[in-house]
Amino acid sequence: MLDTRPRRTFAVISHPDAGKSTITEALALHARAINEAGAVHGKGDRKATVSDWMAMEKARGISITSAALQFEYRDHVVNLVDTPGHSDFSEDTYRVLSAVDSAVMLVDAGKGLEPQTLKLFRVCALRGIPVITVINKWDRPGLSPLELMDMIERQIKLRPTPLTWPVGEAGDFRGVLDRRTGEFIKYTRTAGGATIAPEKRMASDEVSEADRLVWDNAVEEHGLLELDEADHDQARFLAGETTPVMFASALQNFGVAQLLDLLLELAPAPGPTEGVDGTVREPDDDFSAFVFKVQSGMNSAHRDRLAYARIVSGEFERGMVVTHASTGRPFATKFAQTVFGRETTSVENAYPGDIIGLVNANALRVGDTIFTGPKIEYAGVPSFAPEHFMTVSAGDIGRFKQFRKGIEQLDQEGVVQVLRSDLRGDQNPVLAAVGPLQFEVVEDRMVNEFNSPVRFARLDYKVARLTDAEGAEALKGMRGCEVLQRSDGTHVVLFADSWRANATARDNPSITLEALPAGGA
């Protein structure tokens, strides 16, 4: 049966530690609690949705994997796509952002805009993703709200349009002024941060004496914002010119309900998408989807390989046979799952905006399109500029077969870029990473999953440029650079520094040397 409920597909992004995991779980539990007739969940339940599955992630306390969490809220289906938190994995975050229609940016009220915050805002701008900004941790001392607005405007060049305004300074969070109704939404602290923090809406004249001073202050600042025309404008928000702002404490569940309501009200629904040849698929056309992440090892018992695909158009039915755009071959979708952390559920049907995990998808790579009906192919997910380079070889030459298989698999998943050349041969490929932590993931997985210890040797390169076949030919043998090839056929030229890359470009104006977007923190 066709599921016509509207969808919202978004990601929560932030600098590490701003509260992404906390708010993700609060959103999910809040929605679930609402749907389960108002049951209140305490903090103990949060443990159930912890999204880490690799032992290494646990040890480091960071989330390396990405998956999607789906829940219902007020007759909508909400898809929350999880993003990795560590800056080394910004390439992964970038890919995830190709699968969402909007993003929620968390800013730590005490720290303001941090390096990763700025970078993520830039990535959203580049991809045209509208951003809702949440100033989190308002229960703790922090910057003044006007100062934070000023930072967003100056450093990100996005106009902040607060929808709520805090009543009480950071550290003394009484509630918020709903700037569109003028009401006071008063919060009450609950023990242990239960899922639904009690909220009470009241008109200005109902505000108690105890809250009067801070309320008047909020009203005054709201007036300043009005004078400054910092009010929400849906068209400008969708065009990426403004960012609606709200204030919250994820830990205490303050503002979580408002965020969900805002997502339903303001965030865009899945829309038409253009293919590389300019043809456009509307959400109700034939089925199409693109793969934005490939992952294996979710379940060490059967080592499944999952390709996460975002549905662009049409209805997905389990078992349907689709066409793999890059090979033209049929792909049978025997099983599909929704996955979040350890919880997997088999999917029978899915719709535009939904994320499906396709099982046994050995042929699918990041950026690939699958479809039914007339051919469509979506632009691949662009990659960031690698800045760290190592050669890798099998630590145990007797396990070369496992080594080759593992490296190929990690390459296809996009864990790291694998570069090869005739000169280096298959036994000694070059690994290129945006951040050094990617090498640790390679080492960990090669040992634990592929049973092949590896040896790394550092290479003295810092800069990569892309070239074409002619450029690769011309540059081969030239001093100060090395020409290699990615498994998708792209020619990559490595230089010791950007000075040398620029000099080579200057001395050889006919050779194409293209830079990739910077990804490092």
Give the strand pairing for 7-14 and 175-178.
unpaired
Smaller CB separation from ligand G4P, 139 or 169: 139
The answer to whether 11 touches 293, Cβ cutoff 8 Å, is: no
Identify the sign of the CA torsion 417, 419, 424, 427: positive
The answer to whether 67 touches 341, Cβ cutoff 8 Å, is: yes
**Closest separation between CB of residue 29 and ligand G4P, Å?**
13
Q: What x-and-dash track marks residues 75-104 binding ligand G4P by CB under 6 A?
A: ----------x-------------------
10 Å CB burial of residue 112 (0-12, 13-18, 19+) is: middle
Q: Is 467 in the site for ligand G4P (CB under 6 A)?
A: no
Smaller CB separation from ligand G4P, 92 or 482: 92
Smaller CB separation from ligand G4P, 165 or 351: 165
Among 118, 251, 474, 521, which residue interacts with ligand G4P (rule: CB under 6 A)?
251
Q: Which one of the spans 246-254, 278-286, 393-401, 477-485 is the region binding ligand G4P (CB under 6 A)? A: 246-254
Q: Which of residues 111-140 bind ligand G4P (CB under 6 A)?
A: 136-137, 139-140
d(CA 493, CA 501): 9
Query: Which alpha helices (H) appear in 159-288, and where do they start and end?
Result: 209-227, 234-238, 256-266
Smaller CB separation from ligand G4P, 27 or 376: 27
Q: By CB under 6 A, how many residues form the interface with ligand G4P?
A: 16
The answer to whether 149 touches 122, Cβ cutoff 8 Å, is: no
Among 249, 296, 323, 504, which residue interacts with ligand G4P (rule: CB under 6 A)?
249
**Closest separation between CB of residue 108 and ligand G4P, Å?**
8
Say if residue 85 carries a ligand binding annotation.
Answer: yes
To 5 degrees, how large is the angle CA 204–CA 205–CA 211?
70
**Closest separation between CB of residue 283 and ligand G4P, Å?**
31
**Closest separation between CB of residue 128 and ligand G4P, Å?**
24
Smaller CB separation from ligand G4P, 19 or 244: 19
Q: Which of residues 323-352 bind ligand G4P (CB under 6 A)?
A: none
The residues near 364 (Cβ < 8 Å, ≥ 6 apart) are 291, 294, 307, 309, 324, 331, 358, 370
Smaller CB separation from ligand G4P, 21 or 417: 21
Smaller CB separation from ligand G4P, 20 or 293: 20
Nearest residue to 108 via CA among 250, 231, 10:
250
d(CA 9, CA 61): 26
10 Å CB burial of residue 459 (0-12, 13-18, 19+) is: middle
**Closest separation between CB of residue 111 and ligand G4P, Å?**
11
**Closest separation between CB of residue 290 and ligand G4P, Å?**
27
Q: What values do phi and psi take at 281, rounded to 5?
A: -105, 130
| Terminal C-alpha separation, the chain | 46
Smaller CB separation from ligand G4P, 249 or 313: 249
The answer to whether 121 touches 128, Cβ cutoff 8 Å, is: no
Smaller CB separation from ligand G4P, 107 or 472: 107
Contacts 24+ apart (CB under 8 A), 345-351: 346/318, 347/316, 347/318, 348/317, 348/318, 349/1, 349/3, 349/315, 349/316, 349/317, 349/318, 350/311, 350/315, 350/316, 351/3, 351/7, 351/77, 351/283, 351/311, 351/315, 351/316
Smaller CB separation from ligand G4P, 60 or 500: 60
**Secondary structure class of 2 (helix, strand, coil):** coil
Q: Is 250 in the site for ligand G4P (CB under 6 A)?
A: yes
- Furthest-apart CA atoms within the chain: distance in Å: 80
**Closest separation between CB of residue 46 and ligand G4P, Å?**
9
Helix (H) or strand (E) holding 135: strand 131-136
**Closest separation between CB of residue 170 and ligand G4P, Å?**
10
Give the strand pairing for 183-187 and 336-340.
unpaired
d(CA 329, CA 438): 32
Q: Which of residues 263-322 bind ligand G4P (CB under 6 A)?
A: none
Q: Which of residues 4-63 bind ligand G4P (CB under 6 A)?
A: 14, 16-22
Q: Give the residue nearest to ligand G4P (CB).
A: 19
Residues flagged as binding site for GTP: 82-86
Residues that bind ligand G4P (CB under 6 A): 14, 16-22, 85, 136-137, 139-140, 249-251
Residues flagged as binding site: 82-86
